[in-house]
Copies of this chain bind each other. A is one copy, B any other.
Amino acid sequence: MHMNVTEIDMYVLRALEAGDKVQLLALAEELQPYDLAGVYDRLPGKQRAGFVIYLTMELLTAMVGEMEREPQIEVFELLGVERTAQLMDRMDKDDLAGLLGGLSEERKQSFLDYMKEEESQAVRHLMTYAPETAGRIMTNRYVWIPLHFTVRNAVEKLKEFAEIAESISYLYVVDDEKRLLGVVSYRDLILADAEERIADIMFERVISVPSDMDQEVVARMIERYDFIAVPVVEDGGILVGIVTVDDIIDVVIREASEDIAKLSASGKSIDFDTKAIVAAWRRLPWLILLLLIGIISGTIISRFEETLDKVVALAFFMPMIAGMTGNTGTQSLAVVVRGLTTREATSGLIKRLIWRELLVGLMIGGICGTLISVIAYVWQGSPVLGLVVGSSLVVTLVIGTLAGTVIPILLYRLKVDPAVASGPLITTLNDILSLLIYFGIATAFLEYLI
């Protein structure tokens, strides 16, 4: 009952070695699907075949639902054609569509051929929806009832589909064309009399989403309205599936990770398990782009070689000014990118935001600029140098803040994901701007600096 992970693994190994199916199943039944997948994952390769062969179809279905693509395919191969087909018939069709979507055409076909005609039709249909839409993440594991049912009829249908009805707490009421008419919660069924008509107790003002709605918008809706599930409809209100809150949590986590990955220009699919060569390959395009942009800052400095040659001390403050401009841009960027994912950007909001960031830039610039003026004066003993460095920092901080605000908003308006204006990109652009401004101001005051 209260075994830790090592004890569970030992228990499973012993049961497998003794060929004791009863013992193995007794434990497996106690485990959550996620933990069962963990056990499989930690088993030595040669024990895995025995393990999946002992498990019941119900346990297998639950376990496979919690796995990543690679172990899923391994399990399919261990099970052989016939049991895989049974398993796929039982799997969540949205999971299966996601799984098959990543395979080669040939392999996908061979898997679909295993399945019952009806079930493979369902998967094929799901795969016609664009990725990251409601249609792609919806499930067909829900129970629907016709309008003329009584509560008693509904309970009977529920008994028949008990397994499917496990996770959702609603029955969906449809007409002959499967148009969504209403929804009845399990609670309503419990509270009603057996002879009451579904039509009288159902909730009619159901909020549904079209199958092509972006998954992020669905997530925002479920989050706002505290839904457990939302029905998905096609043209004319035909019910085609439901999106459940557990899939939405995954969407929210994945989208946040993608935002962070894009903000840091690290490519959206690097995690702890990514191989070094793959990670390097995904990061390189950005780095090479940034390298080439970095050359531009080099050419800018070379234009001001004369100025720099006369006042070498200017070089001392160069990285600080470039760095500060980049940092303040990153700060603004993060606020904007994250804000845009949770809120609609009206032009009123955008105007207010740009105005605010301008004020923020002025305040930050004023304080940091004054501070560095004093430091530069005390350090190098030149009031003019202090003035040049300080006033440059004011200007670059204001521009850096605005760049970090305006660029992602522009991208958003152009329907480009604002997060591609990654931190490194903004930083590098701000580097260039800040060098131009710094050396421009320094050159203007050159005669007083020498």
A residues adjacent to B (C-beta < 8 A): 1, 30, 32-34, 66, 155, 158-159, 162, 165-167, 169, 185-187, 189-191, 205, 207, 222-228, 245-246, 248-250, 252-253, 256-257, 259-261, 263-266, 270-272, 274-277, 279-280, 283-284, 286-288, 290-291, 294-295, 297-299, 301-302, 305, 308-309, 312-313, 315-324, 326-328, 330-335, 337-339, 342-343, 349, 352-353, 356-357, 359-360, 363-364, 367-368, 371-372, 375, 379, 423-424, 427-428, 431, 435
Judging by beta carbons under 8 Å apart, are B245 and A249 in contact? yes
Taking a contact as CB atoms under 8 Å apart, the answer to whether B320 and A226 are in contact is no
Q: Which 10 A-B pairs have the closest CB atoms?
A: A294-B320, A256-B256, A264-B334, A276-B359, A186-B186, A266-B331, A226-B246, A298-B316, A327-B424, A280-B363
Which residue of B249, B257, B287 is within 8 Å of A249 (Cβ)? B249
A165 with B186: CB separation less than 8 A: no
Q: Indicate if the CB atoms of B162 and A187 lie closer than 8 Å.
A: yes
CA distance A429 to B316 in the complex (A): 16
Q: List the B side residues contacting A279 at CB < 8 Å.
A: 335, 356, 360
Decide if A331 touches B264 in the complex (CB within 8 Å). yes
- Apart from A271-B338, A298-B320, A301-B318, list 19 A-B contacts with CB within 8 A: A34-B225, A155-B191, A223-B250, A245-B246, A248-B249, A249-B249, A249-B252, A253-B342, A260-B260, A261-B338, A280-B359, A280-B360, A286-B327, A286-B331, A308-B312, A319-B322, A323-B326, A323-B427, A327-B427
On whether the beta carbons of A364 and B263 are closer than 8 Å, the reply is no
Of chain B, the residue at the smallest CB distance from A65 is B226
Q: Contact between B315 and A318 (Cβ–Cβ < 8 Å)? A: yes
Q: Which residues of B contact A335 (CB under 8 A)?
A: 261, 264, 266, 270-272, 279
Interface of A is mostly: helix
Closest to A332 in B: B266
In angstroms, Cα B397 to Cα A280, docked, is 12
| A-B pairs with beta carbons under 8 Å apart, 29 shown | A34-B225, A186-B190, A223-B246, A223-B250, A228-B245, A253-B256, A256-B259, A260-B260, A261-B334, A261-B335, A261-B338, A264-B331, A265-B327, A265-B330, A276-B360, A280-B364, A287-B364, A288-B367, A288-B371, A291-B324, A291-B371, A294-B319, A298-B379, A301-B315, A315-B315, A318-B319, A323-B428, A330-B424, A427-B427
Q: How far is the CA of A290 from the CA of B328 in the complex (A)?
A: 10
Residues of B within 8 A of A222 (CB): 249
Q: Once bound together, how far apart are the Cα atoms of A284 and B375, in whole Å?
A: 17
Supposing A186-B187, A272-B343, A363-B276 touch, asked if A316 and B291 sit within 8 A by C-beta, the answer is no
Query: From A306, which residue of chain B is reached at the shortest CB distance?
Result: B312
A162–B191 touching, CB < 8 Å: yes
C-alpha spacing A286/B326, complex, angstroms? 13
A118 to chain B, nearest CB (A): 25
User: In the complex, what's the smallest C-beta–C-beta distance from A371 to chain B, in angstroms?
Assistant: 6
CA distance A55 to B367 in the complex (A): 49
Residues of B within 8 A of A252 (CB): 249, 252-253, 256
Docked pose: A200 CA to B226 CA in angstroms? 32
Known A186-B169, A334-B264: A318·B320 in contact at CB below 8 Å: no
Q: How distant is the Cα of A317 from the Cα of B431 in the complex, in angstroms?
A: 12
CB distance from A402 to the nearest CB of B (A): 13
Residues of B near A272 (CB, < 8 A) are 335, 339, 343, 349, 352-353
A210 to chain B, nearest CB (A): 14
Q: Is the CB of A323 within 8 A of B290?
A: yes
Partner of A320, one of B295, B328, B343: B295
